[in-house]
Amino acid sequence: MARIFLTRIVDGEALDRLRAVHTVEVWTGDAPPTREELITGLGDAEGLLCMLSDRIDADVIAAAPRLRAIANYAVGTDNVDLDAALARGIAVGNTPNVLTDATADLAFALMLAAARHLPAAERSVRADEWGTWEATRWNGAEVHGATLGIVGFGRIGRAVARRAEGFSMNVLATRATPLAELLARSDFVSLHCPLTPETHHLIDAAALSRMKSSAILINTARGGIVDQQALGEALRKGTIGGAALDVTDPEPMRADDPLLNAPNLIVLPHIGSATHATRSRMTELAVANLLAALAGQPMPNAVV
Ligand code: GLV
Ligand code: GLV
């Protein structure tokens, strides 16, 4: 029986399977544990179930001498120092596949919402600004038949491409089209690559300047892929048409963040995988990773 520290209560019944075999301690604070609270909470734990909002760096790992298994409750693992884990022989697992469709759905929701100005139009009704049927005020971009550039053609990128087919979109992907050309030709650019040193600020001022002045940028991947200062300038100057972000850098984005004053911008609080069914399946995968590693078996979804 090992001690497992959970940094957040998660959805799904799979936790009971973990509790049947191990001692599970859940962080119950409203806010996520601070770094100190995380280190204290970990203590002599052998297993950790953590969120993408927990930074599991080399110091945190060094402060947990008995840690053997890290189950990240996400597909992305940029919040975990994989080299430090590897050096200690700590298994790290993620939750791929089960959140592909939920995230692709959200990318499409953002694309449609930004193209047709849904948030601003909805706000206008609540502000009692619906004076008459508008002939021009809300005119936006067409999604059907438009060109969609997909940056990162992995599981989620391909799931977005499948949806785009139903909208008769012309799909370009970085696998077959150089990024500069993709940016120049696309009406919508949707990011689906992991955050790595190579993709950090991949969408910088130069990349944004290649996009059409009508083009809309969608980011459901990681905030750090976009240079947010450059994005704010591009939106203010109108060198791109809009942006819809489910991820920011840093997270959470505070209400006084200057980016929020930029026009034609939608920001969501990182909800790509947030459906009941998807989150339950993520719990199942994270639990399966922990159960396997703590029993000395390879994690079914191992990253290192
Ligand atoms: C969400 O962003 C994830 O990586 O699962
Ligand atoms: C922003 O809210 C938009 O609708 O473009």
251 is catalytic: yes
- Ligand having the closest approach to the CA of 248: 1
The CA distance from 100 to 251, in Å, is 21
C-alpha closest to that of 253 among 224, 279, 276: 224
> Residue for token digits 């049947």?
20
222 is catalytic: yes
Q: 119's torsion region: left (phi>0), alpha (psi -120 to 50) or beta?
A: alpha
Distance 136 CA to ligand 1 centre (A): 38
Say which of 134, 142, 181, 251 is annotated catalytic: 251
The domains found in the chain, sorted by start residue, are 3-97+276-294 (3.40.50.720), 100-267 (3.40.50.720)
Residue 148 is predicted with a pLDDT of 99
The 10 Å Cβ neighbour count of residue 119 is 15
Residue 212 is predicted with a pLDDT of 98
Which atom of ligand 1 lies nearest, measured to the CA of 220?
2
Provide the edge-to-edge strand list for the sheet that holds 216-219: 170-173, 147-151, 188-191, 216-219, 242-245, 265-267
- DSSP conformational letter for 92: E
Residue 193 is predicted with a pLDDT of 98
Residue 21 is predicted with a pLDDT of 96
Residue 129 is predicted with a pLDDT of 98
Residue 179 is predicted with a pLDDT of 98
pLDDT in tens, the chain (304 residues): 999 999 999 999 999 999 999 999 999 998 999 999 999 999 999 999 999 999 999 999 999 999 999 999 999 999 999 999 999 999 999 999 999 999 999 999 999 999 999 999 999 999 999 999 999 999 999 999 999 999 999 999 999 999 999 999 999 999 999 999 999 999 999 999 999 999 999 999 999 999 999 999 999 999 999 999 999 999 999 999 999 999 999 999 999 999 999 999 999 999 999 999 999 999 999 999 999 999 999 999 999 8
Say which of 22, 68, 117, 222 is annotated catalytic: 222
Distance 246 CA to ligand 2 centre (A): 14
**171 membership: H or E segment, kind and range:** strand 170-173
| Identity of the amino acid at 194 | P
270 is catalytic: yes
